[in-house]
């Protein structure tokens, strides 16, 4: 894994943006995108840039089960407002949180990923090492499925909701197997509450206890971290 240390989130957004720009110059057509507060500065860079995304496809990692795209807490809403409304893509995919038939929705989404192989996958990381909504214990060959969120993830994500009771307890998430199929992966982490997860991901032995450690088996991963998130690393 290549590690890029940055001073702050603005610099991290610029670094990630430059990697995407380079990727597009060398033929990348499909971006795998993530939600959460971490990629916001990257999306700002993309919006402010003169890059044209109208021939690009975006495939998002996950969506809360039960939330429609016009719900302000949904990941579709987040993506539209942070990026797609400002920079139109040829197509943008996010799992449909309103689809009650999980099997049908997951099969549909896996088909989308198969038809649009991801060139560059952007990832954040949960404090427990989750990527997408793949919580600890997720098999590394998993595909899209309905997952239950751990209490720590519900707790971490409640800041976006009126109360903890409003946080959905399930999500549709691309699997770790799907993520590993991306040609290039850029994982971004800021802040001391990510330090343990970053340490487990990079320096501990690969284990399902830290879903992000699966990235150790991928040969094109760049990790963008600030000082606080990289504080536990030995290098």
Ligand X SMILES: N[C@@H]1[C@@H](O)[C@H](O)[C@@H](COP(=O)(O)O)O[C@@H]1O
**Is position 125 an interface residue for ligand X (rule: CB under 6 A)?**
yes
Among residue numbers 130 through 189, which ones bind ligand X (CB under 6 A)? 132-133, 153, 157
Quick one: tokens of 209?
């206890």
Options 33-41, 48-56, 136-144, 199-207: segment touching ligand X (CB under 6 A): 33-41
Q: What is the DSSP string of 175-188?
A: -HHHHHTSSEEEEE
- 128 assigned to active site: yes
12 forms part of the interface with ligand X (CB under 6 A): no
Residue 20 interacting with ligand X (CB under 6 A): no
Dihedral of alpha carbons 97, 98, 100, 101, sign:
negative
Annotate 101-134 with DSSP letters as a single string.
-HHHHHHHHHHHHHHS--SEEEE---TTS-BTTB
Asked if residue 121 binds ligand X (CB under 6 A), the reply is no
Q: In what order do the strands lie in the sheet with 30-33?
A: 2-6, 221-226, 184-189, 120-123, 30-33, 57-60, 91-93
41 binds ligand X (CB under 6 A): no
Give the nearest distance from C-beta 53 to ligand X in angstroms: 20
Shortest distance in whole angstroms from residue 109 CB to ligand X: 15
141 is catalytic: no
Active site residue 135: yes
Nearer residue to ligand X within complex by CB, 30 or 79: 79
Spatial neighbors of 75 by CB under 8 A, at least 6 apart, are 35, 60, 62, 63, 64, 67, 94, 97
The SS3 call for residue 98 is: coil
DSSP tag of 159: G
Q: How far is the CB of 113 from ligand X (least distance, A)?
A: 16
Q: Is residue 86 annotated as part of the catalytic site, yes or no? A: no
Shortest distance (Å) from residue 136 CB to ligand X = 13
List contacts with ligand X (CB under 6 A): 34-38, 61-62, 124-126, 132-133, 153, 157
Residues with a known catalytic role: 62, 128, 130, 135
């Amino acid at each position: 894994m290549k590690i890029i240390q940055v001073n702050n989130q603005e610099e991290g957004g610029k670094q990630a943006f430059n990697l995407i720009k380079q990727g597009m110059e060398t033929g990348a057509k499909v971006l795998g995108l993530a939600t959460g507060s971490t990629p916001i500065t990257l999306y700002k860079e993309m919006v402010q840039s003169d890059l044209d995304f109208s021939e690009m496809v975006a495939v998002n990692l996950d969506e809360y089960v039960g939330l429609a795209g016009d719900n302000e807490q949904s990941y579709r809403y987040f993506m539209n407002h942070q990026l797609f409304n400002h920079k139109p893509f040829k197509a943008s995919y996010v799992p449909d949180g309103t689809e009650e038939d999980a099997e049908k929705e997951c099969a549909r989404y896996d088909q989308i990923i198969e038809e649009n192989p991801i060139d560059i996958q952007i990832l954040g990381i949960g404090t427990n090492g989750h990527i997408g909504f793949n919580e600890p214990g997720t098999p590394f060959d998993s595909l899209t499925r309905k997952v239950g969120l751990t209490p720590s993830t519900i707790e971490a994500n409640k800041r976006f909701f009126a109360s903890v009771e409003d946080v959905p307890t399930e999500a549709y998430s691309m699997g770790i197997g799907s993520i590993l199929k991306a040609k290039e992966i850029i994982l971004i982490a800021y802040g001391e509450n990510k330090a343990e997860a970053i340490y487990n991901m990079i320096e501990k032995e690969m284990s399902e206890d830290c879903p992000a450690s699966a990235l150790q088996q991928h040969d094109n991963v760049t990790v963008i971290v600030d000082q606080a998130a990289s504080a536990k690393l030995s290098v």
